């Protein structure tokens, strides 16, 4: 790689100048964060680093056997925390005078705290979480120090979970591991080739410095000359250099196509739970795969900020990224770009009736003036929370179709860069997609939810000509689900995480089923199977043959309790791929044959049963189903 030689004095001045601009930009990000989450941001940006740096019995994170408290680098000089410390102490009933932050040469230093992701951007919304990296130098920590740090962080997280709305997740990272791109498993859905540089690029592009040192990478830029990172690092390590609050987390120049491809596979996994966020990231990855030699987005963002003359109006990194995507495909893929703008609008959760000119509103208004929405889509988007549940789900189905098309294009166009790990993940994804969206006999379908804010508050069951219809609210709208079996309808609501007891209503009908019985069975299904969103399916399960792992046998629910013959059974079962099924039997010989066949193939099925207890002859009729169940599965 070509090395660019710069005068040492010039590099020193460059770093100091860029540091000043970076801190202004970082304050801009903090301002956005504070605007969108006033109380929670105060705790995350100021109370959190303080809690990590004190060890008092009255404060969250206290460790009795901690000889020397941890301390975030230079926290004792942070004026925003110093002016708040008395309020922090008062909050926890600490009566001691003076600062609880103790500076000791033997204390263990935390090099920096950083958010990563959507915090402090227009993309931050009511459902956003906050991932926080805690960076430390492993060389200065003993094994016992590491254990104590984890204990302290877990105690603080427990307090945060109980006291703020934003879910916070901590990642304790060794600075050497970050330099080398060793982040471990991001989560159980990580897939494809290693993505160390993809994650590092996202970190540099999206982080907020909460407290501690500034990553050197952000300061190595000059708009007139190319700067060599290694040369800047040598200047930083010179004892005579006056800037000391800077941290080397490694350089990033480019990303291999194999990493982008692996990241695209991983993003499709994430789409199944966060569709609006993931489709934008998927288009970005497709764009980068198509032009792997172009400057990284994090470079373009850094260069724009550090070369700008206006330190009042900085670019929002999520808008910056969207603008780059739209510019790349300008004049092409018009339908996809229009839909992507719709997704971005919903992701930002723009409140049209809010007349207050917030920073977020100004930034998004400017963006959509430059990149106007399709006029036909505006009524739907501006009233998305109040449009019908059916319209919301139709948008979700459209969202999935676009995502699937992108995935198919990426898989086809870049098969040559896929590794063996990627090919394995393609197999897993194929199964996972079919689990969520392929129709099968007796299978409970999964709704495509574009957002968590669905226009749903009542669920009304209505029986019409032997068909059970479930309506969202009244019967004036089309039913959201219809079936001859009310048990199948109940399973649909539970599996799609729509079941809330207070929402359940029932129209008068000639059946013997009551509203209370519907709620009781729904509770049992929820307790036993959970929902498709909460299912924790190991990815290796998708590479195995399909088999039933859980079964709930429902007896005498969907029939009259005065019927003298016990011939009504429903079997709800889940397989190892996370699919839920519901079958109804009206002949004891048929259900007995089904149970024997299933249980002969798999002896490890977890089985439970539910018997309707409002039957007038419950004790009399329970004997027959018991005999069938017990003899077939040997409970």
Confidence (pLDDT) at 61: 96
Mean predicted confidence (pLDDT) in 423-428: 71
Confidence (pLDDT) at 563: 55
pLDDT, tens only, 25-46: 999 999 999 999 999 999 999 9
Distance (Å) of CA 576 to CA 221, 565, 570, 634: 52, 34, 20, 22
For 238-273, b/e burial (b = at least 16 CB within 10 A) is eeebeeeebbbbbbbeebebbbbbbbbbbbbbbbbe
pLDDT, tens only, 439-461: 889 999 988 888 888 888 889 99
Closest by alpha carbon to 627, among 583, 587, 592? 592
DSSP class of 378: H
Confidence (pLDDT) at 264: 78
CA distance 464 to 475: 11
Q: Which of 134-138, 409-413, 506-510 has the lowest mean pLDDT?
A: 409-413
- pLDDT band of residue 620 (cuts 50, 70, 90) is very low
* Average pLDDT across the chain, whole number: 86
Mean predicted confidence (pLDDT) in 412-425: 65
pLDDT, tens only, 565-588: 557 789 999 998 889 999 988 888
pLDDT-above-90 percentage for the chain: 49
Does residue 86 or residue 533 have the better pLDDT? 86
Q: In degrees rounded to 5, what are phi and psi of residue 213? A: -90, 150
Say how many C-beta atoms besides its own lie within 10 A of residue 334's C-beta: 11
Q: For 221-237, give the DSSP string.
A: --SSS---HHHHHHHHT
Whether 146 maps to a domain, the answer reads: yes
**Helix segments in 496-621, DSSP class H:** 515-529, 588-601, 618-621
19 contact partners, CB below 8 Å, separation of at least 6 = 214, 219, 243, 246
Domain boundary among 222, 248, 274: 248
Domain boundary among 198, 218, 248: 248
Whether 114 maps to a domain, the answer reads: yes
Q: In degrees rounded to 5, what are phi and psi of residue 401? A: -60, -40
DSSP class of 450: S
Whether 121 maps to a domain, the answer reads: yes
CA distance 258 to 415: 10
Does residue 237 or residue 430 have the better pLDDT? 237
CA distance 568 to 584: 7
- pLDDT band of residue 187 (cuts 50, 70, 90) is very low
Confidence (pLDDT) at 621: 45
Whether 510 maps to a domain, the answer reads: no
Token pair of 492 as six digits:
């649909």
Mean predicted confidence (pLDDT) in 589-603: 82
Residue 591 CB burial class (10 angstroms; 0-12, 13-18, ≥19): buried
Whether 434 maps to a domain, the answer reads: no
In contact, 569 and 485? CB cutoff 8 Å: no
**CATH number of the domain to which 602 belongs:** 3.30.420
Whether 421 maps to a domain, the answer reads: no
CA distance 597 to 341: 52
Confidence (pLDDT) at 3: 55
Quote the strand ranges of 162-235, DSSP E.
168-174, 208-212, 214-215
Confidence (pLDDT) at 414: 65
Q: Which of 151-165, 188-202, 456-470 has the lowest mean pLDDT?
A: 188-202
Confidence (pLDDT) at 260: 81
- pLDDT band of residue 635 (cuts 50, 70, 90) is very low
Collapse the DSSP code of 244 into the 3-class scheme (helix H, G, I; strand E, B; otherwise coil) and give the result.
coil
pLDDT, tens only, 58-83: 999 999 999 888 999 999 999 999 99
CA 358 to chain centroid: 26
Whether 125 maps to a domain, the answer reads: yes
Q: Which of 111-120, 180-189, 409-418 has the lowest mean pLDDT?
A: 180-189
Distance (Å) of CA 19 to CA 211, 217, 253, 305: 14, 11, 20, 11
DSSP class of 517: H
Say how many C-beta atoms besides its own lie within 10 A of residue 92's C-beta: 17
Range of the domain at 115: 1-248
Reply yes or no on whether the pLDDT at 403 is more than 80.
yes
Confidence (pLDDT) at 289: 82
Domain boundary among 248, 274, 301: 248
Q: Which of 103-112, 153-162, 623-632 has the lowest mean pLDDT?
A: 623-632
Whether 516 maps to a domain, the answer reads: no
β-pairing, 569-575 vs 548-555, is antiparallel
Show the CA angle centred on residue 585, arms to residues 583 and 587, nearest 5°: 165
pTM check: above 0.95: no
CA distance 492 to 198: 38
Q: For 477-497, give the DSSP string.
A: SPPSEEES-HHHHHHHHHHTT
Closest by alpha carbon to 247, among 210, 207, 219? 219
Confidence (pLDDT) at 310: 57
Bin 465: left if φ > 0, else alpha if -120 < ψ < 50, else beta.
left
**Helix segments in 37-170, DSSP class H:** 38-42, 48-52, 79-82, 85-91, 143-163
Reply yes or no on whether the pLDDT at 15 is more than 80.
yes
With the C-alpha atoms ordered 590, 596, 598, 601, is the resulting torsion angle positive or negative?
negative
Collapse the DSSP code of 16 into the 3-class scheme (helix H, G, I; strand E, B; otherwise coil) and give the result.
helix
Return the half-sphere exposure (C-beta side, CA atoms, 13 A cut-off) of residue 584.
14
Give the number of domains in the chain: 2
Reply yes or no on whether the pLDDT at 237 is more than 50.
yes
């Amino acid at each position: 790689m070509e090395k660019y030689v710069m005068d040492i004095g010039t590099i020193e001045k460059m770093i100091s100048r860029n540091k000043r601009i970076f801190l202004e930009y970082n304050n801009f990000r903090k301002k956005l964060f504070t605007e969108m989450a006033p109380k929670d941001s105060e705790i995350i940006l100021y109370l959190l680093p303080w809690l990590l740096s004190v060890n008092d019995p009255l404060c969250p994170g206290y460790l009795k056997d901690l000889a020397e408290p941890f301390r975030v680098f230079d926290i004792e000089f942070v004026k925003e925390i110093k002016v708040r410390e008395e309020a922090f102490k008062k909050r926890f009933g600490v009566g001691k005078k003076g600062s609880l932050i103790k500076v000791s040469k033997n204390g263990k230093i935390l090099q920096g705290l950083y958010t990563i992701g959507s915090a402090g951007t227009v993309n931050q919304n009511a459902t956003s979480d906050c991932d926080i990296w805690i960076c430390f130098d492993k060389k200065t920590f003993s094994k016992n120090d590491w254990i104590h740090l984890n204990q302290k962080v877990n105690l603080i997280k427990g307090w945060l979970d109980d006291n703020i709305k934003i879910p916070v997740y901590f990642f304790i990272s060794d600075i050497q591991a970050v330099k080398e791109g060793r982040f471990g498993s991001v989560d159980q859905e990580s897939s494809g080739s290693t993505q160390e540089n993809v994650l590092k690029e996202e970190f540099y592009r999206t982080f907020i410095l909460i407290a501690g040192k500034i990553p050197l990478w952000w300061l190595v830029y000059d708009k007139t000359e190319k700067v060599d990172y290694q040369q800047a690092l040598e200047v930083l390590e010179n004892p005579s250099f006056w800037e000391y609050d800077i941290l080397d987390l490694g350089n990033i120049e480019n990303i291999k196509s194999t990493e982008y491809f692996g990241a695209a596979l991983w993003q499709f996994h994430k789409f199944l739970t966060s569709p609006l966020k993931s489709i934008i990231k998927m288009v970005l990855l497709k764009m980068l795969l198509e032009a792997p030699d172009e400057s990284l987005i994090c470079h373009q963002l850094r260069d724009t900020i550090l070369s700008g003359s206006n330190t009042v109006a900085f670019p929002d990194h999520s808008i910056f990224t969207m603008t780059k995507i739209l510019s790349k495909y300008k004049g092409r893929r018009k339908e996809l770009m229009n839909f992507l703008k719709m997704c971005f609008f919903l992701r930002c959760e723009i409140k049209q009736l809010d007349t207050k000119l917030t920073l977020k509103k100004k930034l998004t208004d400017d963006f959509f003036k430059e990149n106007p929405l399709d006029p036909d889509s505006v009524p739907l988007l501006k009233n998305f929370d109040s449009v019908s549940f059916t319209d919301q789900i139709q948008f979700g189905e459209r969202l999935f179709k676009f995502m699937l098309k992108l995935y198919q294009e990426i898989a086809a166009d870049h098969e040559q860069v896929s590794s063996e790990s990627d090919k394995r993940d393609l197999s897993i994804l194929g199964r996972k997609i079919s689990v969520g969206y392929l129709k099968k006999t007796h299978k409970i379908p999964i709704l495509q939810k574009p957002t968590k804010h669905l226009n749903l508050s009542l669920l009304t069951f209505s029986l019409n000509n032997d068909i059970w219809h479930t309506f969202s609210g009244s019967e004036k709208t089309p039913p959201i689900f219809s079936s001859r079996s009310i048990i199948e309808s109940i399973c649909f609501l539970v599996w799609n995480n729509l079941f809330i007891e207070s929402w359940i209503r029932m129209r008068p009908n000639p059946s013997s089923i009551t509203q209370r019985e519907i709620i009781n069975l729904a509770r049992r299904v929820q307790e036993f199977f959970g929902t498709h969103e909460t299912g924790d399916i190991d990815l290796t399960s998708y590479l195995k043959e399909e088999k039933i792992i859980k079964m709930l046998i429902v007896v005498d629910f969907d029939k009259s309790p005065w019927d003298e013959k016990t011939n009504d059974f429903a079997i709800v079962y889940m397989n190892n791929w996370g699919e839920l099924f519901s079958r109804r039997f009206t002949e004891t010989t048929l259900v007995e044959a089904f149970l024997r066949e299933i249980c002969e193939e798999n002896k490890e099925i977890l089985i439970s049963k539910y018997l309707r207890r409002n039957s007038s002859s419950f004790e009399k009729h329970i004997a027959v189903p018991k005999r069938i169940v017990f003899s077939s599965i040997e409970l």
